Structure 1
Amino acid sequence: MKVFANQQTGATWVFVSRNHKYMIKNSLNDSNPDSRGDDFSYPWTFIPFTKLGFTIDNILECLKDENVIGKGCSGVVYKAEMPNGEIIAVKKLWKTKKDEEPAIDSFAAEIQILGHIRHRNIVKLLGYCSNRSVKLLLYNHIANGNLQQLLQTNRNLDWETRYKIAVGSAQGLAYLHHDCVPAILHRDVKCNNILLDCKYEAYLADFGLAKLMSSTNYQHAMSRIAGSYGYIAPGKYLFSSLDLAFRS
């Protein structure tokens, strides 16, 4: 078990790993200058949730425009091939326009949620990296893009495959709503946030707007509208209140 306190958010996170010895904090020091600008300056903090065969430098070398594979409400995603041949997905969180600070709330939400849940239909968080201005989330790479891309390029997709994707997505949501304590609301489920592997197994991604639905923060979490237009639950949009049974 690893306990990590974030001084910026005041939150304390507890993570459990199958291999506890790999749950370590690697703070790189200022003796390693970086020529790529202030965004990539040292020191970096690198915290893996499993054994990883690469370094923060290997990750930073892959953050190039030609490696971008997607953009979401909370960040841009890069495909990163490590020297050992492993391919991962790296999400760099957007900075806010107001003060150019990284999206701390979105970063904290994904870490708090994905750091301790494991389900076959939810993307696996491998670890995260941060410095003074950048937050990076490391995921296993899902090779077949997202559902939105599939529907746009393959309009003749057979109904058996469509059904499989729908069921997988529903199973991931059911786990978040009914098997997690407290329950977790994704709040931005849409085709872009459903990733697919080569066998069309569905994976829920992009938890930047997610909320842990404990009894103490229920009303606060539901007090404002969040999500993408066209995908917000109608009851939430119309009444600013919604029972968990009706959420998607």
Structure 2
Amino acid sequence: MDVLLCFYRRLHRLKVTAKEAIVVLTVWCFIHGTRPEKGGAHINGYHAGPTGFRWFTYDELKKATRNFSEEIGRGSGGIVYKAVLSDCRVAAVKRLNEANQGENEFLAEVSTIGNLNHMNLIDMWGYCAEGKHRLLIYEFMEHGSLAENLSSPTELDWSKRFEIVLGSARGLAYLHEECLEWVLHCDVKPQNILLDSTYQPKVADFGLSKVLKRKGLNNSSFSRIRGTRGYMAPEWVYNMPITSKVDVYSYGIVLLELVTGRSPTGGGLANIEGGDENESKRLTSWVRERKRTEVPTRTWIKEIVDPRLTGEYDIRMVEVLVALALQCVEEDRDARPTMSQAVEMLLRYGDEDEDEMIAA
């Protein structure tokens, strides 16, 4: 229906009569309903590849992105562009960096990602595997990334921050424990947590080259996946076996950033003690020190909380988030919770808070 409405509006702008519109629409439906395929079947007139997703040509995406002119994000895996598809849907197109990966291997991994389905994971709509080009097409998130919102003067209030914390944990718990394959994100950071029109979080940039069977792994399996400076777990540095606990560590750093408003890689840490430590350790050491020295009076909370919130926050919520964050960033990975345990801890807080509101 949205496609037909969009098509009608285009015809209306061209001042096409009703009879002419019917003729044009009939021809359009015939053409798009009988479009030749490439190794896949038709689904609602779309070109469906062997993965079950829509298969896009490179020229289609080049046109949809206006020659890749509007960049909306970038990371180690590639650059993301805003696009308007032929059916008028707004999308995000990720152009992957050139790799030695063959088409069959790429399609197999795309198919695996297609089996992942969770409200807190970004939805993938299609892909392009044409020559050396490898592109992924995702739903577009109206409110951008968590990183953009944290750096904006119009800060997120505490209720939104808690929902982002909980939703992100749920998405990661699904990847780690609830899907058939063992999926490690390996690059959890605010840039990879996207917010929809209601500020519900969706974890993005997961999947490719990180989908593995549930078995013991060593660092050699992840030679090209090391995350982002400031959010990386110690296992990467010390060449230890890589498990889901590397994502837990990164999630803990994101929690501290949400609470304090300080990025582990930004200028906000310039005056924090421990300049010889790496970024994440400086942030965690600073929070631990403030909490340790001023626990009886709770003044540490006021010292570490993002000042842009001007005192409008729930003190008990801060305590819960900080406690969880510090558990997640323990040097000993065995001391860190799993993501499902993190979800349980957050839900307990939410239930207790709701009970108090009812009693009041």
Q: Same fold (TM over 0.5)?
A: yes
Residues 1:77 and 1:67: Cα distance change in structure 2 (over 3 Å): same
* 1:90 counterpart letter in structure 2: V
The equivalent of 1:49 in structure 2 is: 52
Q: Say which SS state the counterpart of residue 69 (structure 2) adopts.
A: helix
Normalization by structure 2: what TM-score? 0.49
Higher-Rg structure is 2
Quote how far apart the aligned CAs of 1:71 are. Answer: 1.0
The equivalent of 1:36 in structure 2 is: none
The equivalent of 2:74 in structure 1 is: 71
Q: Say which SS state the counterpart of residue 218 (structure 1) adopts.
A: coil
**Contact 2:58–2:130 under 8 Å retained in 1:** no
1:96-150 CA-partner distances (Å, limit 9, x unpaired): 6xxxx67989956862542211110111111111211211111111121101111
Structure 1, gaps ≥5 residues long:
1-21, 29-44
The equivalent of 1:234 in structure 2 is: 234
Q: How many residues align?
A: 205
The equivalent of 1:169 in structure 2 is: 168
Greater share of strand residues, 1 or 2?
A: 1
The equivalent of 2:93 in structure 1 is: 90
1:27 aligns with 2:30: no
Greater share of helix residues, 1 or 2?
A: 2
Distance 1:68 1:224 in 2: 24
The equivalent of 2:177 in structure 1 is: 178
When the two chains are superposed, the root-mean-square deviation of aligned CA atoms in Å is 3.5
* 2:78 counterpart letter in structure 1: G
The equivalent of 2:138 in structure 1 is: 139
1:160-187 CA-partner distances (Å, limit 9, x unpaired): 1111111111000010111023321101
Normalization by structure 1: what TM-score? 0.68
Quote how far apart the aligned CAs of 1:213 are. Answer: 3.9
The equivalent of 1:194 in structure 2 is: 193
The equivalent of 1:80 in structure 2 is: 83
The equivalent of 1:62 in structure 2 is: 64
The 5 Å alignment of 1:104-143 reads 111-143=110-142
Quote how far apart the aligned CAs of 1:27 are. Answer: 3.1
Q: Say which SS state the counterpart of residue 153 (structure 1) adopts.
A: coil
* 2:73 counterpart letter in structure 1: G
Larger relative contact order (CA 8 Å, sep ≥ 6)? 1
The equivalent of 2:260 in structure 1 is: none
Structure 2, gaps ≥5 residues long:
1-32, 40-46, 249-360
Residues 1:224 and 1:237: Cα distance change in structure 2 (over 3 Å): farther
1:26-52 CA-partner distances (Å, limit 9, x unpaired): 339xxxxxxxxxxxxxxxx97373579
Residues 1:85 and 1:200: Cα distance change in structure 2 (over 3 Å): same
Quote how far apart the aligned CAs of 1:214 are. Answer: 2.0
Distance 1:71 1:106 in 2: 23
Distance 1:189 1:171 in 2: 13
